[in-house]
């Protein structure tokens, strides 16, 4: 049973650049959520995708955008990178309509912005 | 304005004893409560959860207690084992709000031999 996978594992970018992170959900899951975890903090909700649409969004600017594909995999795009975007980006998957809100996380992509 | 607080950044417990991790919240709209465990260089791993209609849920060595009136959640691990050393996050969900989880800052649990 394949768990949540993310790529790449690490990434270094410079200010102003754009980045794309990728996520494949756990087998059988149809919903993908993205989180940002800064050093010493808990994960913060960015947004959630279901049926290829952004369903809910946390307190993040429009520089953060995403996409979900028909196979349920997802991408997170961040434009005009700032130093403060350096963080661990976590993808989590879940299955809609199962009476549970449990989300299963991938290992994350560590982004460093110089 | 932190909605979820884990006031102990770290906790040291002797192997075999009970570990108690605490979490306080301010928003009474939260209706589902989860605990995750995180090792370095890995994503959070789901441990146990409880809905607001219950006050206790048990799974092996892990028990979660919910006190809705005090807006307080706790995780008990007994007996504590060396492999339990990790960062523990409480994560809360509000069905009436965003579909994301709201996390605390985490507590680093260290199990001493």
Q: What is the DSSP letter of A26?
A: P
CB-CB: which of B41, B43, B104 is closest to A42?
Answer: B104
Burial state string for A40-67 with b = 16 or more CB within 10 A and e = fewer than 16: eebbbbbbbbbeeeebebbeeeeebbbe
The pLDDT value recorded for residue A98 is 67
Cβ of B98 within 8 Å of Cβ of A40? The answer is no
The β-bridge relationship of strands A87-94 and A104-105 is antiparallel
Q: State the Cα torsion A107-A111-B2-B4 to the nearest 10°.
A: 0
Confidence band (pLDDT; 50, 70, 90) for B97?
A: low
Q: State the Cα torsion A59-A22-A88-A29 to the nearest 10°.
A: 70
Radius of gyration in angstroms for the set of CA atoms belonging to chain B, rounded to a whole number? 13
CB-CB: which of A48, A100, A102 is closest to B99?
Answer: A48
Residues 79-98 (B) with a CB less than 8 A from some CB of A: 89, 91, 93, 95, 98
The pLDDT value recorded for residue A2 is 77
Cβ of B100 within 8 Å of Cβ of A56? The answer is yes
Q: Which residues, other chains included, contact A38 with Cβ-Cβ below 8 Å and sequence gap of 6+?
A: A44, A86, A87
The pLDDT value recorded for residue A56 is 87
pLDDT tens, residue by residue, B14-59: 999 999 999 999 988 898 999 999 999 899 999 999 999 999 999 9
The answer to whether A73 and A52 have CB atoms below 8 angstroms apart is no
CA distances for B56 relative to A29, A45, B23, B24, B38, angstroms: 28, 27, 15, 16, 23
The pLDDT value recorded for residue A103 is 92
Cβ of A107 within 8 Å of Cβ of B43? The answer is yes
Chain A residues near residue B36 by CB distance under 8 angstroms: 105
Q: Using CA atoms, how far apart are residues B59 and B47, in angstroms rounded to an integer?
A: 9
pLDDT of B99 above 90 = no
pLDDT tens, residue by residue, A3-60: 999 999 999 999 999 999 999 999 999 999 999 999 999 999 999 999 999 988 999 9
Phi, psi of B53 (to 5 degrees): -85, -5
B74: how many CB neighbours lie within 10 A of its CB? 16
Interface test with B, best of A21, A38, A43 (most B CBs within 10 A): A43
pLDDT of B1 above 80 = no
The pLDDT value recorded for residue A97 is 74
The pLDDT value recorded for residue A100 is 66
CB-CB: which of B46, B98, B104 is closest to A45?
Answer: B98
Chain B residues near residue A103 by CB distance under 8 angstroms: 46, 101
pLDDT tens, residue by residue, B58-92: 999 999 999 999 999 999 999 999 999 999 999 99
Confidence band (pLDDT; 50, 70, 90) for B98?
A: low
Q: Using CA atoms, how far apart are residues A105 and A43, in angstroms rounded to an integer?
A: 11
The pLDDT value recorded for residue B106 is 97
Tell me whether A58 touches chain B (CB under 8 Å).
yes
Residues 31-50 (A) with a CB less than 8 A from some CB of B: 33, 35, 40-48
Confidence band (pLDDT; 50, 70, 90) for A65?
A: very high
Q: Using CA atoms, how far apart are residues A11 and A20, in angstroms rounded to an integer?
A: 10
The answer to whether A83 and A113 have CB atoms below 8 angstroms apart is yes
């Amino acid at each position: 049973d394949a768990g949540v996978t993310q790529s790449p594992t690490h990434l270094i970018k410079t200010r102003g650049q754009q980045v794309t992170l990728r996520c494949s959900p756990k087998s059988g899951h149809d919903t993908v959520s993205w989180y940002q975890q800064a050093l010493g903090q808990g994960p913060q909700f960015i947004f959630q995708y279901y049926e290829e649409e952004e369903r809910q969004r946390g307190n993040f600017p429009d520089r953060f955008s995403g996409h979900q594909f028909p196979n349920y995999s997802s991408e997170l795009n961040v434009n005009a990178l700032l130093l403060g975007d350096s963080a661990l980006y976590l993808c989590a998957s879940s299955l809609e309509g199962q009476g549970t809100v449990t989300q299963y996380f991938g290992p994350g992509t560590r982004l460093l912005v110089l | 304005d932190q909605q979820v607080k884990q006031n102990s950044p770290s906790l040291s417990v002797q192997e075999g004893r009970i570990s108690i991790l605490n979490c306080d919240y301010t928003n009474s709209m939260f209706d589902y409560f989860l605990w995750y465990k995180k090792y370095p260089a890995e994503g959070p791993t789901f441990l146990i959860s409880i809905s607001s209609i219950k006050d206790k849920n048990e799974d092996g060595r892990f028990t979660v207690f919910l006190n809705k009136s005090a807006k307080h959640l706790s995780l008990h691990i007994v007996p504590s084992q060396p492999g339990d050393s990790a960062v523990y996050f409480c994560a809360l969900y509000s069905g009436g709000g965003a579909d994301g989880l709201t996390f605390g800052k985490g507590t680093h649990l260290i199990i001493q031999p």
